[in-house]
A and B are shown apart, each in its own frame.
Chain A
Amino acid sequence: MNVTALIDAAKDGILTGSLYALMATGLTLVFGVMDIINVAQGILVIVGAYLSYALSVHFGIDLFLGLLITIPTLFVVGIVIERAFLGRLKGPEKTAMSILVTYAVSLVIEGSLNMIFSVNPVQLHAWYVNKSFVVGGYHFAFIYLAGFALAVVLLSALYYMLYRTRFGVSVRASLADQASAALVGIDVRRVSTICFGIGVAVTAAGGMIYGATTTFNASTSYDLISRLLTIIVLGGMGSLGGAMLAGVLLVFVGNVVGVIAGAVWSTMAYYVLLIIVLLVRPQGLFGKQSARVA
């Protein structure tokens, strides 16, 4: 076994996995606070990628600088989707209905993207996208490292917001128990709307890095959402810490197994891990019944 290749795979797994962690954190935050499974998260990542693409190609705006526009834009998109469709869902069928509603939203967005950008795959370009440097004999692709740094910054900001701000207290309370949160004066409806906006906003960053490292079109979203959903199931539905760990595990385990046993086992490895974890802990790594912030 080539140890250097193994360490490379592990390193890339952690760097790339952090992006999945970021995208999945948005998904699990929305589920935790709202009991909504947003299957449109995958296509929204692609929207983020296309927005960066449009800003870069048509306005010459740098990919990272463009995030100052795409993140707020997707935040607003999230608010609009929540207010227009999801806020109306109520009752015991809410979670099941949310899958149908967000799938419908996803189809509409997918069709619109195909119409605007065509189905031809594209990739984001910038001078640094293919740059790499060597540290201690190991190659580091700049874009993956930058993506990792971006994920760390955004996840840290999210954690700061959750644990150091008044709004964060209301989010954590809503995550734990919506009725009890309402009884202490928290406007759970408002918290839900903002959380959905945040959950969608993080896709802008994820989408930009994803689009810079992979060719994509609207259909790419299906692969993305299946990965994101398995991440939040492995981490524990509604657990932010779980989503982060499972996001890194998804790529890390796949990469390492790919080096050891061959590429065909790479994807399967994560799902085997998922099945084993669910057999032992049906609620996922950090999933809890009553308190879901790990």
Chain B
Amino acid sequence: MAETAYVSIKGVIAGYGGGDVLKGVEFDVPHGGVTCIVGPNGSGKSTLLKTVSGLVRPRLGEIWFKGHNLVGMSPKEILGLGVVQVPQNHSLFREMTVDENVELGAFLVKDKKVIESRMNAVREMFPIIVERANDKAGSLSGGQQRLVEFARCLMLEPDLVVLDEPSMGLDPKTLKIMFNTIKMMNSMGRTVLLVEQNARQALKMSHFGVVLENGKVRLSGTGTDVLNNPEIGALYLGGSIEETKHAS
């Protein structure tokens, strides 16, 4: 993995009107790896991802990606630069079919041949799309919906995939598939920026880890560094790191 900064988050202050949730967040996302953001509830993890994808406009600060400051850009413009987000809550359009949902991932692509070839590519990666092509997305289980969301986000062949708690509500079997899929996306050359409550497992597969607390970066480093930090382990990973070693 190259260690050059791919996304530079500089002094981001943002919130929803009732006060700032992010209070000067600053870190770099390395190119080509998986970066995992962990932290307690309310620390601003999801808000931070929303500022990257343009759903929340920061009050102050800059987010640099490919020479563009994403702050002030619309979600559509940011998407056009190759940044795709899969949000925390299921975002499929329940009344549309699986096929329609996946195709919507390439909404910005005008060329029908390109769309069809990308559809074929994601069909190979995610058999569920073929099996349930004409079913309404709302009829799929939570895990299946998540996989269709992953497939949809790949339709734009993004450079940066932003995932907000992708494991939420998934059973252990689907969880494994989901983490494998993230690894697969990363192995395809996509940089992944991930927020995950299942912090221990996510940090293990991450090249870089960031701990957010009260809207600020408490700690950052390699995934292993963050995972092995005893203080962080006790505070945010559900027990001390020593306990984890014994358990494994």
> Contact residues of A with B, CB < 8 Å?
91, 169-170, 172-173, 176-177, 179-180, 182-187, 290-291, 293
Contacts and interface: CB of A to CB of B under 8 A. Distances in A.
B91 interface: yes
B95 A293 contact: yes
B105 interface: yes
Nearest to A92: B17
A177 B91 contact: yes
Contacts of B74: 182, 187
Interface string B52-69: 011100000000000000
B115 to A, nearest CB: 11
B96 A180 contact: no
Interface residues of B, number: 26
A230 B100 CA distance: 33
A187 B78 CA distance: 12
Interface in B80-125: 80, 84-85, 87, 91-96, 100, 104-105, 107-108
A293 B95 CA distance: 8
Given A180-B87, A183-B55, A183-B85, A291 B95 contact: yes
A290 B156 CA distance: 25
A180 B88 CA distance: 11
B91 A186 contact: no
Dominant SS among interface residues on chain B: loop
Given A184-B104, A187-B76, A172 B95 contact: yes
A291 B105 CA distance: 19
Contact of B93 (A91, A177, A185, A187): A177
A183 B87 contact: yes
B209 interface: no
A172 B92 CA distance: 12
A173 B137 CA distance: 13
Nearest to B110: A166
A176 B107 CA distance: 16
A290 B79 contact: no
Given A169-B104, A170-B107, A179-B87, A185 B95 contact: no
Given A91-B17, A173-B104, A182 B55 contact: yes
Contacts of A291: 93-95, 138
B91 A169 contact: no
A273 B96 CA distance: 31
A187 B76 CA distance: 7
Nearest to B92: A180
B200 interface: no
Contact of A176 (B54, B95, B152, B156): B95
B79 A176 contact: no
Contact of A184 (B55, B79, B138): B79
B53 A176 contact: no
B75 interface: yes
Contacts of B17: 91
